[in-house]
Amino acid sequence: MNHWVAGWVDWNLALNESGGPNWAGNVVDAAVIINTSADEFYKQPMFYALGHFSKFVPPESMRIGIVGGTRSVKATAFHTSDHLIVVVLLNKYVCFL
């Protein structure tokens, strides 16, 4: 969002555990992985990232500049049509102990 995109679409919102089906025939990730043999689905980190943008950044919002962020925390900000400021942060490096 910070590099002049007008929108973004994830073509692979849901795939099976092998990363398919997809047109290239390679293994890719998706927001939701479907396990048909167990009748289960698994929400991936991308699911929650998409959820933050779709919940807090409504249509007609304008991206505004933001100062800050680090190599491990990325930030982007928006001005909504309701005159609110929305900041979305992405922690790129998560450490599990």
CA distance 75 to 84: 16
97: pLDDT strictly greater than 60: no
Q: Taking the model in full, what pTM does it have? A: 0.67
CA distance 4 to 85: 18
Give the whole-number percent of the chain exceeding pLDDT 70: 91
Domain boundaries, the chain: 1-47, 57-97
Tokens of 49: 């990232």
Q: pLDDT digit string (tens) for 51-94?
A: 888 899 999 999 998 887 777 888 899 999 999 999 988 887 76
Q: pLDDT digit string (tens) for 13-42?
A: 888 888 788 777 777 788 999 998 999 999
